[in-house]
Chain A
Amino acid sequence: MFEIYKTMWQKRKMINELARQDIKREYAGTLLGMMWGLINPLLRIAVYWFVFSVGARAGHPVNGAPYIAWLAAGLVAWFFINDAFKSAKNSFRSRRSIIKNTPFPIAILPAGKVLYAYYIHLILLAVLLAVMALILKTVSIYWVQIFYYDFAACMLLIGLGSMTAPLVAVSKDFSHFIDTFLIFLFWMTPILWAVHNVHPELQYIIKLNPFHYIIQGYRDSLFYDTGFWEYPLYTLYFWGFVLVTLVLGNYLFKRMKPVFLDIL
């Protein structure tokens, strides 16, 4: 049930090397290089803050956390999820020339893309934490918990990536579908708005979205000093969800590999 993840573990060095190559490839030929990994998200955060806080006058502090900081924490987590998912789902398609030529365990490719996105995310996270420390003027031990949520996000994304990459390899339609769906999710996940603003029954449905677990976790760690063990049921639900995606990812990869190798 977990063969491909066993391969990923065995080839973790190769995954790491691939992720590093990807960073090189992404920023090769640009003058600012890695700076783009910062400029782009920071600008997006600024734009959302301007629209909601200045434009819509909705930028009130959320449970005591300044809106801009609260917004940045959610967005940074979301950017990671979004970028990792997008590149993981395309991982077979974008490495087409090498898959068709070089024999290597291709099952590791989605994980490589997740790690690549995580490396870029780490830089942004470092900047975020530094800025937070300045704004909040405190540092909390709960900040370390972010790495737990990062780990959780990675596991979820590896599962989702392994699940969707074979489908995207077979047909590009899946790629477009997922891109569209991610825009929908971006607005439906409480990133720009607080979950307690909606009707309590609706909250349950919104919380079914596993990405919310990550984003909420980021904010809990940064502002509210809340541990993940304080929601045992939600944590259990999240990991159950991850398990299902991992098993499905393994199944779909095995099932589709002969098909997409021929089609790719």
Chain B
Amino acid sequence: MEVAVRVKNVTKKYKLYEDKWGPIKEIFSRKKLHKEFWALKNITLDFPKGESIGILGKNGSGKSTLLKIITGVAEPTSGSVEVNGSLVFLDVSSGIDSELSGYDNIFLKGTLLGYSKEEMMEKVEDIIKFSELGEFIYQPVKTYSAGMKSKLGFAISVNVDPDILIVDEALAVGDAMFRKKCMEKMNQFKKEGKTIIFVSHDKNAVESFCTKAAWINEGELIAYGDSKVIASYYNEYMSGRKSIEEIRTEVQCHHSLEELSFDYSNGRLSIRLNGYIYNKEQPDIPVEFAIRDMRVNQVLSKKLVRVSYEKDPFLPEHIKEKAGFLVDISEEEFPGFFKPGKFSFEIRYKRENRWNYIPIWSGNVRIVGREGDEGEIQGRYKYRFVVENNQLFLQIDNVDKVQEQVNNIWFENRFLHIEYVAFVRGYQTLSPEDVSSNFYLVNLDTFDEYMIPSTVSETEEITENPVFNPQGKIYNYSKFHVSINLDELPKGRYECKLSYHMKKPPYHEMLILAWATKTANYPSEPYVVGDKCIEIQIKSKYLQIVVSDAAKKDSSL
């Protein structure tokens, strides 16, 4: 690999003086008169030739300092920088003299970059054309707007044809048209095998434009690698989801999901995943596969089957032989887990006795279904695999939409009674044999599930209501009743779901959260039976039941 810029152990220390005369005094005395600020801490980075490399970091992270050292406009405190080829640095100020005209600035900049007047004469027309400044080129730069200045700076920088172009947030002020033009020009640069170093705090720009990226935080290089991977780390840190330490471990852990295949047979979904996971620094750290129901945060884990990974020839042998993995997930193992909702695929590793979860990077995953499936399959529910932000998700939806509502809730002795209506538009219920429904209580901490069959009874509520039934179909059996034995319900918080089974074609089966908005019909006071206190709660329009200790409830009152 040819290297355009090699940064080796570069450290930059700024001296912060309280005394204005400090820097002068210090030259002539041995006393230390400053506080130290480490803008860069031992950075080692290679920028390969012919690639565009992004440098990410928040403001003040040291990225601009690094650039200044690479370009030579600042000197490192220690370490060395090796630059192979001519280099142009473009930043917001663009290094343009505001007294001179744009035209003279072209020659000034050209002179400083080491071009002769004759060489610049050849380039000047291209520069003026690219800058879109027209007649303004002969006006002093101080009359220019910020956007015009940046256009001029960019036009000069790209048209002097450097081997290495360094861009520091310089495109932020240009308009969209010009930005697009710059991007095109830089893409052309890339094709010509030139190196571009692109600095930004905007992960999207880096992600879309750069193949590789480095992330600098508080003067330290956190990660360097594929721009998409680095951008997603950066995003997780900037959005506050993860700390630097967590990301550090993750960075050591290289992972990618490469292929996903799935099938649905005998009423069960099965998924097979393969890819690689390895950690060069800590190869023995235990890693497991995890699937998360994102709404309730229920996580199921699965051991990885380690296989050798041959696609990366640079991996050391002892890592290569178990870098690959294979996971088979079948609904058989996890009955009832795959229900309507959204699921994410993650890996987890144990650190200080705590599981840390990382979404497995899936930016390059190949999804293989049965022929013509295109990542989608219909079984009991509709299953769909999607990749968003380099992360794989499984979206499960009901085949039909169930209209439902909890009408009444009341307590009677040791029982909780719930009455609800449910129907599917277009599916007519003429007899009690046409439909059945179950009521589910799911403990939100343990995810234990209690299923109670409901009894169906006749009602004209839906059939007669023109709002629900404009086509005049028959939904006579759409009223359900369930009685829950409170003795059998352990303490905890429960969410309520109900299922709807069609007993005749098309035999669809739906599972949904119980919708409850008729608050006037529900008990508002907690109900005490034995040592339990039962409370009906509505959380964002869905029914929840809280079973707590009656004694505690009393004492707290």
Contact = CB atoms under 8 A, between A and B. Distances in A.
Given A97-B96, A171-B21, A256-B27, A103 B87 contact: yes
B23 interface: yes
A256 B111 CA distance: 25
Given A101-B91, A262-B14, A24 B100 contact: yes
Contacts of B109: 102
Contacts of A244: none
Contacts of A263: 23
Contacts of B27: 255-256, 259
Interface stretch (B67-75, B335-343, B428-436): B67-75
B374 interface: no
A262 B13 CA distance: 10
Interface stretch (A11-19, A33-41, A124-132, A234-242): A11-19
Contact of B23 (A17, A25, A99, A171): A171
Interface stretch (B3-11, B112-120, B308-316, B517-525): B112-120
A21 interface: yes
B23 A170 contact: yes
Contacts of B140: 28-29
B84 to A, nearest CB: 14
Interface in B76-112: 77, 87, 89, 91, 93-97, 99-101, 104, 107-109, 111-112
A103 B69 CA distance: 10
A194 interface: no
Contacts of A170: 23-24
Given A14-B111, A17-B111, A171-B21, A100 B73 contact: yes
Nearest to B166: A103
B504 interface: no
A232 interface: no
B101 A28 contact: yes
A261 B75 contact: yes
B15 interface: yes
Which of B75, B100, B107, B112 gathers most chain A CB within 10 Å?
B112
B241 interface: no
Interface residues of A, number: 28
Contact of A262 (B74, B104, B108, B111): B74
Nearest to A13: B116
Interface string A241-264: 000000000000001111101110
Given A17-B117, A21-B104, A101 B94 contact: yes
A29 B23 CA distance: 38
B328 to A, nearest CB: 57
B17 to A, nearest CB: 9
A13 B115 CA distance: 10
A17 B110 CA distance: 10
Contacts of B72: 103
Contacts of A104: 112-114
A98 B112 contact: yes
Contacts of B87: 103
B305 to A, nearest CB: 54
A29 B14 CA distance: 40
Interface in A89-123: 97-104
Contacts of A258: 75, 77
A167 B27 CA distance: 11
Contact of A102 (B21, B74, B89, B117): B89
Contacts of B15: 262
Contact of A97 (B95, B116, B117): B95
B369 to A, nearest CB: 54
Contacts of B111: 14, 17-18, 21
A25 B100 CA distance: 5
Given A97-B96, A101-B94, A104-B112, 6 more contacts: A28-B140, A29-B99, A103-B72, A170-B24, A259-B27, A261-B75
26 contacts: A13-B116, A14-B111, A14-B114, A18-B108, A18-B111, A21-B100, A21-B104, A25-B97, A25-B100, A28-B99, A28-B104, A29-B140, A97-B96, A97-B97, A98-B95, A100-B68, A100-B95, A101-B89, A102-B95, A104-B114, A170-B23, A171-B20, A171-B23, A258-B77, A259-B23, A259-B27
